Amino acid sequence: MIQVAINGYGTIGKRVADAVRAQPDMEVLGVAKTRPNFEAETAIDKGFPLYAAIEEREHLFEEAGLDIAGSVDELVADADVVVDATPSGIGAENKSLYEEYETPALYQGGEDADLVGVSFNARSNFEDAAEADHVRVVSCNTTGLSRVIAPLREEYGVEKVRATLVRRGGDPGQTSRGPINDILPNPVTIPSHHGPDVETIFDDLDIDTLGMKVPATLMHMHSLNVTLEEEVDAADVRELFADESRLFLIPEHMAIDGSGKLKEYALDAGRPRGDVWENAIWEESISTVGRDLYLFQGIHQESDVVPENIDAIRAVLGAADAEESIETTDETLGIGL
């Protein structure tokens, strides 16, 4: 069994921990938190060994009545791989710790691409991460864009991608985020950081991205225009996407007209936390005019990178090839709404 350490047990870390537990070839060695809170209590309730990420704060856990298994150094030393799910920028600070114990590490998309040798998306470049010591699982938006671009490139060729990303202001639990009553160009300059980030997966791709932030917490929304290298019928694109396990085509008859109903559907379907691990593409939005393809897709920022982290674990350890890993991850998580 692959022994997985998870440094950071917040929005992403707790979801990765649950996903690791569901795998037949992995187990959670432990999770690390910087301070006691409701997530730390939940980790213990679930049976995850809890480690203190900051040695000087160990007493805070004791004062809160939470038993800790040790320090994060001990956790990293004993692990086969570390998933760093700490806030943006902290992963870079933690890199020297992982290097000290020669433990391969996965970082999240908030870290700079220059921190690692490989940026990772399971559908697009699984093999690039083989035996790499430091790998960055790209952000929720880059993950969503890459999952669509990869099959289009393979089937038709892609001349140009233009994407407008309407981004949620913050996650449901991020009470300090905003805006509350505004619509912000973010950034006001073009391109947004998402385009260059996608180019860390496809280095020869021509892509322009624009970003906005809106007073919502549920999901991001993408408006895509992809110029293909040949004319194609929309029905053929729908058929192509239907074969991709991490693309969910929302049928018109389901009457899901926005993120709210999509999340409601995920909850009704029994998804933990109402997570939507797949890109959610409105099927009737898939349209073509000549070589230009258009579509809308919803991206659940809290969860779409979770299966990617699981696949990246296997990739860096050489535990499976892309097809085997993705199939196992999808099956164990129940991916495919």
Catalytic center residues: 140
**71: phi > 0 → left, psi -120 to 50 → alpha, else beta; which?**
beta
Binding-site positions for D-glyceraldehyde 3-phosphate read 139-141, 194-195
Of the candidates 49, 99, 47, the residue with the CA atom closest to the CA atom of residue 70: 49
Backbone angles phi, psi at 97, to 5 degrees: -65, -45
User: Residue 87 in 3-state DSSP?
Assistant: coil
The DSSP result for 39-59, as a single string, is HHHHHHHTT--EEESSGGGHH
CA angle 250–167–19, rounded 5-degree value:
65
Q: How many CB atoms lie within 10 A of CB 296?
A: 16
| Strand ranges inside 117-241, DSSP E | 118-120, 134-137, 158-168, 184-185, 207-214, 220-228
CA 198 to the chain's CA centroid: 13
How long, in residues, is the chain?
A: 337
CB 262 within 8 A of CB 219: yes
Of the candidates 203, 179, 234, the residue with the CA atom closest to the CA atom of residue 113: 203
